[in-house]
Chains A and B, each alone.
Chain A
Amino acid sequence: MSESGIIDYAVLIPLLPMLAFPVILFLGRIFNGTPTWVKNLKEGGIIALTVMGASLLLALAVIKEHMNSIGATNVFTWFETHWWEVDGALTDRVFGVGIYIDHLTVMLLFVAAFLCFLINIFSIGYMNTDPINDNRNHRFYAEFVLFCSGMLGMVLADSFLWLFIFWELMGLCSYLLIGFYYERPSAAYAAKKAFLTTRVGDVFLVIGLAMLWNMFGSLDYAVVFDPVEIAKVSSSELQIALGMMFIGAVGKSAQFPLHVWLPDAMEGPTPVSALIHAATMVNAGLYLVARMFPFFQAADIGSLSTLAIIIACIGGITAVMAALIAFVQMDLKKVLAYSTMSQLAYIFTGLGCALWFANNGYEELATFALGASLFHLFNHAMAKGMLFMASGSVIHEMHHAHHEVAHHEHDDDHHDDHHDDHHDDFDAQSMANMGGLANKMPITATAMFVGSMSIIGIPFIGGFWSKEGIIASAWKVALKEPVFLFPAMLVLIGAGMTGFYMSRMWFMTFAGKPKTDVAKHVHEQTPWIPIPLVVLTFMTLSAFILAGMHAGAWLGDYQSGHYSNFFSGVGEELQYVFLNDDPFLMVLTYVTIGLSFILGPSFAMALYGGSLDDDDEAKPWMQWAIDLSARVNKNSNFDNSAWANSSLAYSLEKRLHFDDWYDAAMLKIVVGFAYISAKFDKNVIDGVIKTIESTSQAASAKLRTLTTGSARDYIMMTALGTLAIFLLLWGVA
């Protein structure tokens, strides 16, 4: 089904950034250091921005066109081959390349294109002002646009195959960008780890795809989503295939047990963390699972429930585990990383619910759960992108401040000593070095404030709506399927934990007195950074409006026309959340709110709250929270030393030892075995060849000693030979 229209140009959305990749790379290589390149083109940033802007515009046009309709077009035929059927007939098989646009695509396309554009703006502010990036920013922008191409391509692809192809492209860019500071061993290690861990998932994804292909003879959505086709295949096989694909999603979205790479991935520049490891790439796994929805709809009732339960459980486990680890992290970005992991886990749980409903015939509930999940995806992407950018802003300014402070000291002490050796132990990312930044960085602090609230789920802000939806869905399933109690409980507990660690992060960073000299000198500088923060702050706050459209309407029934009266939608939503007909759900809502809004932040305030320096005053919308935290902190006298010294806390700091185990398994077992194998190969397999050689040489030496040099021996041998001939002749005759 091919149609003309704007969709014909949709292929340009990923193609433009992809073409920009070599352009930036080579221009950067050639013009590196020239004033025009550095000042006017921002070392490629402007090119990237232009391209991303074009992509965004095009994406918006496509979204407008296909908001309520499915669009598909074929770009070209990748290749054709043949298949030998069981009955011995040869059939043609075509691997195509095309664009497929439906509600899911539209949602993710917007998220991706929009955030890519914003983060590109942020990057220009962040990357180009840091001297450590001089002469390599073009590399950043090149890889950045390539990544964007991957993300946009993935959501637009019309088959699981091309989804996977772009998925891997993102993996590559993630690898490159994490390892952007290649000279840092930690970055190199993190990059490798990220790629390898996701690769493990990808292997299963490929296997899943192979299985799926064998079932349907194609990987195109148009073919595999056909209910008639789905009904033909064996559900148990389908479940295994989808399960394999899910493992891929687990790796990409950093879920238990393949989550280890995400915190380390924070070695990359902050825009990368914001874009890839918070806002877009990690959503790829979610997108993949959400894409499986039609299978669950069309398969036999209950036949795929197990997989749905597994998905939800993985989500639940990860949600709590990540939150727990986030409790003790001191690194600003790591806290956000674990928070990301935890929130993605929520979405997985929500998707698990949606899939379970879909597979068990609860269409409406399924639509709701899926809508809630995707809405959370949206909210989380916006909020977390913003949070990362804000954290980047903080880190960036901390760096600057540190430079200034260090230079100041230098200038005082040694006037002639001018080399750059302030790469000392100062950690600009550690929250232990921050504190009291609320008044020094008002825009950043605001953005982070709003972002945190969205993630926590403070009522009426961003993530609140979606998170409520997910938790409610989980419990609704739990009422029908007892196994689901496990993830349902976990996500509920997780809500409270989110409240704690997000608050902790904000208070440690922005409230209280500055903990170091550096923190006193922080101030916002470049105009590029605040722009996206402001935009995203409004995006997050305006989730209220989006909530009015009700996330559920992003799916299924396109004609219901929620846009026309979104105020009534808001009313419905509010009623749904706070005054649900089902008393159980209503109670659940309030319990959740209590946990996330009251309990978690309270603990955080008690432990980490405090007022600013005496003469400082934050913006009024934050000042109240700081004051409140100071009061709570003063009054509670909460002592957590017992807990802080516990072995659990130690384990949490060690990230529950997962990394250690994986490292041990990899280094000790696999690499050890590899070394032994290499030895075996050299000494035994090749040894056989060498032995043949040495044996024949030895045999040669032995044989040649028979040639004694004495004529009498030769005559003797001749005589013996004569005898031998006689014997042979006689033996026959």
Chain B
Amino acid sequence: MIDPAWVSGLAAILFIIGLWGALSRKNAIVVLMCIELMLNAVNLQFVAAATHWGDVNGWVYAVFAIAIAAAEVAIGLAIFLSMYNQHETISLDEVNLLKN
């Protein structure tokens, strides 16, 4: 069995990659994917921690987190769609009518 520490490390790396991606990419879809990456890191972490503690709750948390992520994707894509309809772009940098 893999030491949960390694998994946590992986989760951390995933999270950082996700975060980095979220703040460096312009494409909304890619950003959404990066957010998913962050959530995946969370899942991994939960699972690893559940293993570490031998606690069933962790797995439940992970399942719930997956569900949340799924809902988020659905909603996100819908919103992006409407953005695309209006702005005809999915580049986050070009959508800045509202500011100041």
Contact = CB atoms under 8 A, between A and B. Distances in A.
Given A712-B92, A712-B93, A707 B23 contact: no
A13 B58 CA distance: 107
Interface string A689-708: 00000000000000011011
B23 A716 contact: yes
Interface string B33-73: 00000000000000000000000000000000000000000
B86 interface: no
B23 A715 contact: yes
Interface string A181-224: 00000000000000000000000000000000000000000000
Given A716-B23, A719-B23, A711 B92 contact: yes
A709 B99 contact: yes
B23 A710 contact: no
B14 interface: no
B23 A708 contact: no
B22 A705 contact: no
Contact of A708 (B22, B31, B99): B99
Interface in A48-74: none
Given A716-B23, A719-B19, A710 B93 contact: yes
A704 B26 CA distance: 22
Contacts of B100: 704-705, 707, 709
B96 A710 contact: yes
Interface string B64-100: 0000000000000000000000000000110111111
A719 B15 CA distance: 12
B17 to A, nearest CB: 13
Contacts of B97: 709
Contacts of A709: 95-100
Contacts of A708: 96, 99
A159 B95 CA distance: 87
Interface in B12-29: 19, 22-26
B6 to A, nearest CB: 24
Contacts of B98: 709
A441 B97 CA distance: 99
A548 B15 CA distance: 124
A719 B21 CA distance: 12
A715 B26 CA distance: 12
Contacts of B92: 710-712
Contact of B95 (A707, A711, A715): A711
Nearest to B93: A710
B99 A707 contact: yes
Interface residues of B, number: 15
Contacts of B24: 712
A710 B100 CA distance: 11
Contacts of A716: 23
A206 to B, nearest CB: 61
A716 B93 CA distance: 13
Contacts of A711: 31, 92, 95
A348 B52 CA distance: 113
Contacts of B26: 712
A708 B97 CA distance: 9
Nearest to A703: B100
Contacts of A712: 23-26, 31, 92-93
B14 to A, nearest CB: 16
Contact of A715 (B22, B96, B99): B22
Contacts of B99: 707-710
Contacts of B22: 715
Contacts of A704: 100
B21 to A, nearest CB: 10
Contacts of A719: 19, 23
Nearest to B94: A710
Q: Which of A710, A716, A719 has the most CB of B within 10 A?
A: A710
Nearest to A715: B23
A32 to B, nearest CB: 69
Interface string A12-46: 00000000000000000000000000000000000
Interface in A592-649: none
Nearest to A718: B23
A146 B51 CA distance: 107
Residue among B19, B23, B25, B93 with the most chain A CB within 10 A?
Answer: B23
A16 B93 CA distance: 92
Contacts of B19: 719
Interface in A661-717: 704-705, 707-712, 715-716
Which residue of A708, A715, A719 has the most chain B CB atoms within 10 A of its CB atom? A715
Nearest to B35: A715
Contacts of B95: 709-711
Contacts of A707: 99-100
Nearest to B100: A704
B23 to A, nearest CB: 4
A416 B50 CA distance: 123
A515 to B, nearest CB: 87
B38 to A, nearest CB: 11
B52 to A, nearest CB: 23
Contacts of B93: 710, 712
Contacts of B25: 712
Chain B CB within 10 Å, residue with most, of A704, A712, A716, A719: A712
B54 to A, nearest CB: 29
A457 B96 CA distance: 103
A705 B100 CA distance: 5
Nearest to A704: B100
B37 to A, nearest CB: 14
B59 to A, nearest CB: 28
A719 B18 CA distance: 12
A152 B67 CA distance: 104
A715 B30 CA distance: 14
A710 B31 CA distance: 13
Tell me which of B24, B26, B96 has the highest count of chain A C-beta atoms within 10 A of its own C-beta: B96
A681 B96 CA distance: 45
A715 B93 CA distance: 12
A710 to B, nearest CB: 5
A709 B96 CA distance: 4
Contacts of A710: 92-93, 95-96, 99
B36 to A, nearest CB: 15
A711 B76 CA distance: 14
A711 B30 CA distance: 13
Q: With a 10 A CB-CB cut-off, give which of B24, B25, B92, B97 has the most chain A CB atoms.
A: B92
A704 B23 CA distance: 20
B68 to A, nearest CB: 19
A715 B24 CA distance: 9
A475 to B, nearest CB: 93
Nearest to B24: A712
Given A711-B92, A712-B26, 5 more contacts: A704-B100, A707-B100, A709-B97, A710-B96, A712-B24
25 contacts: A704-B100, A705-B100, A707-B99, A707-B100, A708-B99, A709-B95, A709-B96, A709-B98, A709-B99, A709-B100, A710-B92, A710-B93, A710-B96, A711-B31, A711-B92, A711-B95, A712-B23, A712-B24, A712-B25, A712-B26, A712-B92, A712-B93, A715-B22, A715-B23, A716-B23
The 10 closest A-B pairs by CB, nearest first: A709-B99, A709-B96, A715-B23, A704-B100, A711-B92, A710-B96, A716-B23, A710-B93, A712-B92, A715-B22
